[in-house]
Amino acid sequence: MDRSRVLSALLWGAVGFSAFLTLVQGYALVVEPLVSITQGVFVATCVGAVTAVGAYALEHRLLAWMAGRVSDDPQSHDGDSKSKS
């Protein structure tokens, strides 16, 4: 198991956890509370776990796909830095 992939996935999970709690809090401030704080933390934990698993499973595939797109992209400007539109 690659340690850097695990760390990256855990950090993405923390981002998902925080983003969900931020959205719930924002909604509660503007409209009305959707869930209790306990329910919000539980759902945020689930969102964080799904985000971490998804990041672990897909991150290396997305990086390989993006690297392939960059290497297959022909030089559209023939070395000229000016836009030709």
At 25-74, the pLDDT tens digits run 999 999 999 899 999 999 999 999 999 999 999 988 888 888 888 876 56
The domain total for the chain is: 1
Retrieve residue 45's tokens: 């934990």
Query: Does the pLDDT of residue 80 top 60, yes or no?
Result: no
On whether residue 40 sits in a domain, the answer given is yes
Global pTM reads: 0.72
**Residue 35 CB contacts under 8 Å (≥ 6 apart), including other chains:** 24, 43
Query: Does the pLDDT of residue 16 top 70, yes or no?
Result: yes
Domain extent at residue 45: 35-70
pLDDT for position 42: 96
On whether residue 20 sits in a domain, the answer given is no
Region 9-27: mean pLDDT is: 95
DSSP classification of residue 36: -
Whether the Cβ atoms of residue 14 and residue 37 lie closer than 8 Å to each other: no
For residues 6-41, b (16+ Cβ closer than 10 Å) or e, as one string? eebbeebbeebbeebbeebeeeeeeeeeeeeeeebe
On whether residue 60 sits in a domain, the answer given is yes
**Residue 4 CB contacts under 8 Å (≥ 6 apart), including other chains:** none
